[in-house]
Amino acid sequence: GPPLRQSFARFGVPPEDIDEAIRVFRARYVPIGKFENAPYPGIEDLLRTLQAEGYPLFVATSKPEVTAIEVLEHFHLDQYFDRICGASLDEGRETKEDVITYLLDQIGDPGQTVMVGDTDYDVLGAKAHGIPTIGVTWGYGDADSMAAAGAIALADTPEELHRLLGQG
């Protein structure tokens, strides 16, 4: 999803209170909240399959990079990714577009790349780099918003996503 600053503003937190809202959110999320979730059913199988098929896999998330790495390690999913990139807390890398720029700076020419995302922020961030997006409907976003932002396809299941990825 969007950076916390944008999310809190969207939900009515006054600009002068956003830094405090972020501090309070992170005070719980960093030690506890980030582990109070679970991978969606079928995701680890899909990642294992894609890796075995030779797909290079990357993460580009608006979460702070250190947090993304910790969460993926906790659920033993880090092993499937060639690189995990996220937002920075101090380098001005905050938006999805910024994170994708950071990733592309590290890997060079992305070749035949597709973003897989669950929000219109993913679609728009990738579109800024000329990268098409397949939206997944089991995440936090809205299918209509992803379609309106320009997703090239929508997948309702990991199996459907695998099929769509194989059509490229």
pLDDT digits 0-9 by tens, 105-130: 999 887 889 999 999 999 999 999 99
Tell me the average pLDDT across 70-81. 97
pLDDT higher than threshold 60 for residue 79:
yes
Residue with structure tokens 């947090």?
Answer: 67
% of residues, the chain, pLDDT over 90 = 82
Alpha-carbon gap, residue 145 to 104, rounded angstroms: 25
pLDDT band at 168 (very low <50, low <70, confident <90, very high): low
Whether the per-residue pLDDT at 157 is higher than 90: the answer is yes
Mean pLDDT for all residues in the chain: 93
Judge contact between 125 and 96, C-beta under 8 A: yes
Least confident of 48-57, 85-94, 159-168: 85-94
Average pLDDT over residues 64-86: 96
Give percent of the chain above pLDDT 70: 99
Q: Convert the pLDDT of each residue in 8-55 to its tens digit.
A: 998 999 999 999 999 999 999 989 999 999 999 999 999 999 999 999
Q: CA-CA distance, 79 to 73, in Å (whole number)?
A: 8
The rounded distance, in Å, linking the Cα atoms of 45 and 130 is 29
